[in-house]
Structure 1
Amino acid sequence: MRFCSLGSGSRGNATLVDTGGYRILVDNGFSLRELLRRLERVGVAPATIDCLLLTHEHADHVKGVASFVRRHDVEVWTTPGTWRAAGAPDVPRLRLLSGPGQTLELDGVRVSSYPVPHDAREPCQFVFESGGHRLGMLTDCGRVTPHIQQFLSDCDALILEFNHDSQSLQRGPYPLSLQRRISGGFGHLSNRQAGDFLDRLSWGALQHLVVAHVSEANNHPDLVLDTIRSVSTTLAEQAVLWEQDAPSPWCAFASGTQRAHGPAALVEPSSSPG
């Protein structure tokens, strides 16, 4: 199993999970033209994507979904609430989850959805299991609940939102109403909230930490790294920041390693995406 970002932030989000035999796209907040450009940069042909999963209906996650799946006949999985809130576009291969909390078996990939507190109709996030490894995603979440803590406690890799620095948000350009929405219990995780979550997490076997959905207006990578460093210098050294304007390198687990054997190094790409 390997994974990468096609872009992460308030102007568009899309994540690829690839098991070698099955490719999953999580969200698509980019136009068809931009998505195809970014797929080309990571060496993926659009026709090889098997499935698209949706976390929630906000435009930075679903703007380009309908045009992409109509063009390339891709299967879509999402919750009924998310699909209705997204306008219920007519797509050829729609599959509805019974709600957050359902587990799917997709060609050898075990995909578990779980609910998150966010100001959307029926939001969820996902955990992927394949080849003895477990990849968890947590973005677009206002607070970490005990259920989330338990659900993500045994991951080998974690994609985690560090959306904003609270002081930067208060001093920043956003109006007070938007500040309250972002910092509220159904908004986005602050650096402190994400750091507290890591501090409570059993992260000894965590091979890879990805910093995602970082606000360009209300945060800075140095502030994020300072937060992670306060939890663990080891985590800070291995943390990777996903950017808004460019795909990330692929991240892949070292061949033959599994959770039961303890931490293992990730195989890092030797060059830029594509």
Structure 2
Amino acid sequence: MSLFITSLNSGSNGNCYYVGNDQEAILVDAGISCRETEKRMARLGLPMSKVKAIFVSHEHSDHIRGIPVLAKKFNLPVYITPGTLLHLGNTVDAKLIHHLREFETVTVGQLEVTSFPKEHDASEPHSFIVNCNDIKVGIFTDLGIVCDRLIRYFSQCHAAFLEANYDEVMLDTGGYPYHLKRRIRGGKGHLSNKQALALFTTHRSAHMTHLLLSHLSKNNNDPKLVEELFTACADGVHIVVASRHEETPVYLIDGNQGKTLEVLGQLDLGFN
């Protein structure tokens, strides 16, 4: 069974990633409003009825801002670590809360979602890999370093959302104060273009078909620069730079190296 993926928004102004098959889907993070989430999914032909759960990577507002309204309106289970939940507070009905633990695999229909710890300046930050019939999609953002766990899971992926947050020269010469620059590159902040590219070129699998570069800094990166950098090393992998202003197209991930579906509307799958 194929997987369909899209970034509904990616950046410090809000993050929300969709992964699903033709029966069910999950959201990883919901950092944009419920209304905006619905609008963007509708434009893509993705009905909210297919979303069965929200998985939360960590507690920063650009990842959780939309969860309370979205979970309440659509009665969605929220998978979240106990430490992260402390920061979300009592804004979500306790009946919808499911505690998430590291390396735990949660089954949502035919989707298997595995969480694992990452290095970031948050309480209990986690990344995720979604598996459906051995088609695997990773969601890897807000990463301080490329750790062994990240390498292990990234190397399994047919597609991935991977952070490429900042260009090192732009960060060094930009206007951020020293303490913020140190935080970004300090091992629990964000991944640079150079670090992300090294992970991609060294550890991508032979069956990877799509890479969605995510969480680009507004001030310390340039989408065109990132696209050119990764495209030069793509070797057949479809490179997408996820926007901080709008949704990407929906991409079909089916394990076929030669097949790319950029717009869901090209297939009649009954999503509308």
Q: What TM-score results when the alignment is normalised by the length of structure 2?
A: 0.90
Look up the equivalent residue of 1:247 and give its one-letter code.
Answer: E
Query: 2:235 aligns to what?
Result: 234
**Structure 1 segment 1-274 matched on structure 2, within 5 A:** 1-91=3-93, 92-97=95-100, 99-229=101-231, 232-234=233-235, 238-254=238-254, 258=255, 263-269=257-263
Deviation at 1:170, TM superposition (A): 1.7
CA distance in 2, matches of 1:132, 1:187: 31
Asked if 1 retains the 8 angstrom alpha-carbon contact of 2:144 and 2:187, the reply is yes
Look up the equivalent residue of 1:265 and give its one-letter code.
Answer: K
Q: Which consecutive residues of structure 1, in runs of 5 or more, have no partner in the other structure?
A: none
Q: Deviations over 1:138-169 (max 9, x none)?
A: 10010011121112211111111100001101
CA distance in 2, matches of 1:175, 1:46: 41
Aligned residues: 264
CA distance in 2, matches of 1:141, 1:155: 17
Look up the equivalent residue of 2:235 and give its one-letter code.
Answer: T
Label 1:149 to 1:74 Cα distance change in 2 as closer, same or farther (>3 A). same
SS in 1 for 2:235: helix
Deviation at 1:189, TM superposition (A): 0.2
CA distance in 1, matches of 2:241, 2:120: 22
Asked if 2 retains the 8 angstrom alpha-carbon contact of 1:211 and 1:239, the reply is yes
Cα RMSD of the aligned pairs, angstroms, is: 2.0
Asked if 2 retains the 8 angstrom alpha-carbon contact of 1:172 and 1:218, the reply is yes
Q: Which consecutive residues of structure 2, in runs of 5 or more, have no partner in the other structure?
A: 267-271
Look up the equivalent residue of 1:263 and give its one-letter code.
Answer: Q
Look up the equivalent residue of 2:194 and give its one-letter code.
Answer: R
Q: Deviations over 1:176-232 (max 9, x none)?
A: 2211111110000000110111122043221111111111211012321343256x2
SS in 1 for 2:32: coil
CA distance in 1, matches of 2:92, 2:211: 37
CA distance in 2, matches of 1:41, 1:31: 15
Look up the equivalent residue of 2:249 and give its one-letter code.
Answer: P
Asked if 2 retains the 8 angstrom alpha-carbon contact of 1:127 and 1:134, the reply is yes
CA distance in 2, matches of 1:134, 1:270: 19
SS in 2 for 1:267: coil
Q: What TM-score results when the alignment is normalised by the length of structure 1?
A: 0.90
CA distance in 2, matches of 1:162, 1:264: 25
Deviation at 1:127, TM superposition (A): 0.4
CA distance in 1, matches of 2:219, 2:63: 19
Deviation at 1:86, TM superposition (A): 2.2
Deviation at 1:81, TM superposition (A): 1.0
Label 1:164 to 1:252 Cα distance change in 2 as closer, same or farther (>3 A). same
CA distance in 2, matches of 1:11, 1:79: 23
Asked if 2 retains the 8 angstrom alpha-carbon contact of 1:29 and 1:62, the reply is yes
CA distance in 2, matches of 1:138, 1:152: 8
Asked if 1 retains the 8 angstrom alpha-carbon contact of 2:116 and 2:128, the reply is yes
SS in 2 for 1:24: strand
